Homo-oligomer: A and B are copies of this chain.
Amino acid sequence: MNDTSEKVTPSILDRSRIVLAHGGGGQLTDQLISEVILPRLGNETLNELDDAAILNGNIAMTIDSYVVDPWQFPGGDIGKLAVCGTVNDLSVSGAKPLGIALSLILTEGFAKRDLETILDSIGESAAEADVKIVTGDTKVIPGSGIFITTAGVGLRDPAVKLASRYIRPGDKIIINRPIAEHGLTVMLAREMPDMQSVLKTDASPLNGLIDLLLKQVPGEDVRFLRDATRSGIAGVTTDIATNTGYHVMLHEPDIPVDAHVQHAADMLGLDVLEVANEGVVVAVVSPDVADQAVAVMRQHPYGRQACVIGEVQNNRDGICEITTMIGGHRIVHKPYGEQLPRIC
């Protein structure tokens, strides 16, 4: 009955205990899911490990907890993240958001005006995404900060077919905008709170952009969508390689990175491919519609810098590779733990 877990800061190599990196969305998170969670709770739906589960043929459901530290950062806060993350998880599964459930875990002493700021931000993001908060819960614990869990329910047209199993060799990989802005913004806000930085989170609801894409590009030619959050572009593209068994080739010179973001990453020794985004969608589309898909995305404010960043190739090695700026090649690995804890 005693809590044997109190007050231990374990080594990342202590396999008997949870470490921060288990929440990083990388290999360690995958291990926890496959070794501890799925053997106990696995079923046909959960085993898909998609951003959203599909129930009863057309009801999409998703959930995510947000523990970002600090809760506020340039361009947004934990409330905006929670709404955008849930809307985006529904959208990349091809569903239109129907409602969001909001559960707050507050800490004793948290300032009400800070809660108000966060709720205002939730309201603004929900209004932008045209979705309502339909139910909620509030709990209070000792400690500091705020933790938010949002669940989303949406409806999916049963005709929509988006999954990594539809990906074919030759398909192009597209993203909608420059990468790595969210993670580096939070990192700078945390480590250098007094510094004015020019970075700003990219957190944004992508349902409008994705809706446009799915309406204007012929159905079956959009194979797969995923928002590149924890573990970044590298997480998504290595998952594509692993799950399809094909070779994924990225082209570094084509991947848009803002110069300030690149400087911040270089300074901190971080790989922009692995840094979390909150407004970047990775789309895999058939080669015939790649130009059209890019053009459609560019019509939308959140897709002005859309471009092709790579392709799926026919070698069946399940590896993700990148041609670098200077023409070399390197293998892209799924991040092990986390570069940056508590980034979302």
Residues of chain A at the chain B interface (Cβ within 8 Å): 1-10, 15-24, 29, 32-33, 36-37, 40-41, 43, 45-46, 50, 52-53, 55-56, 59, 61-67, 70-73, 98-99, 101-116, 119-120, 122-123, 126, 132-147, 149, 151, 153, 155, 189, 193, 341-342
Closest to A6 in B: B144
Q: Contact partner of A137 among B3, B65, B102, B139, CB < 8 A?
A: B65
Q: Is A40 within 8 A of B122, CB to CB? A: yes
Contacts of A108 in B (CB 8 A): 8-10, 18-20
Q: Tell me the minimal C-beta distance from A175 to chain B in angstroms.
A: 23
Q: Is A3 within 8 A of B71, CB to CB? A: yes
Q: Tell me the minimal C-beta distance from A344 to chain B in angstroms.
A: 8
Q: Is B149 within 8 A of A18, CB to CB? A: no
Q: Which 10 A-B pairs have the closest CB atoms?
A: A23-B140, A151-B151, A8-B109, A63-B101, A53-B134, A149-B149, A53-B135, A5-B110, A18-B110, A23-B139
How many copies of this chain are found per oligomer? 2
* Bound-complex Cα distance A101 to B36 (A): 17
Q: Is B151 within 8 A of A61, CB to CB? A: yes
* Bound-complex Cα distance A193 to B6 (A): 15
Closest to A147 in B: B105
Q: Assuming A23-B139, A132-B43, is B105 touching A65 (CB within 8 A)? A: yes
Q: Tell me the minimal C-beta distance from A336 to chain B in angstroms.
A: 14
Q: Tell me the minimal C-beta distance from A338 to chain B in angstroms.
A: 9
Q: Is B120 within 8 A of A5, CB to CB? A: no
Contacts of A20 in B (CB 8 A): 108, 140-142
Contacts of A64 in B (CB 8 A): 103, 137
Q: Tell me the minimal C-beta distance from A38 to chain B in angstroms.
A: 10
